[in-house]
């Protein structure tokens, strides 16, 4: 294997690793109802929890 081939393979591998990291970096969106089913410490750090206003209105709270 020559030096050019090794450099090319290394570059392709680095590109694949970067692509995989970008895909992992996408946040996960879940509602607060779904979040209650999990331990908050076990959720990935990029998880975005959407507060469900319908539940707050049912309990007598209104943000408006």
Give pTM, 2 decimals: 0.39
Q: Considering only CA atoms, which of 64, 55, 58 is closest in space to residue 35?
A: 55
Q: How far is CA 37 from each of CA 19, 53, 59, 64, rounded to the nearest angstrom?
A: 31, 18, 19, 28
C-alpha to C-alpha distance for 19 and 17, rounded to whole angstroms: 5
Which residue has tokens 């990029």?
A: 46
Q: What is the pLDDT of residues 30-64, one digit of tens each?
A: 777 777 777 777 777 777 777 766 655 555 555 54
End-to-end CA distance of the chain: 68
């Amino acid at each position: 294997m020559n030096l050019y081939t090794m450099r090319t393979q290394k570059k392709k591998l680095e590109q694949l690793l970067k692509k995989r990291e970008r895909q992992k970096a996408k946040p996960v969106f879940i509602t607060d109802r779904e979040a209650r089913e999990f331990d908050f410490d076990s959720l990935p750090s990029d998880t975005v929890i959407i507060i469900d206003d319908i539940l707050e209105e049912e309990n007598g709270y209104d943000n408006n």
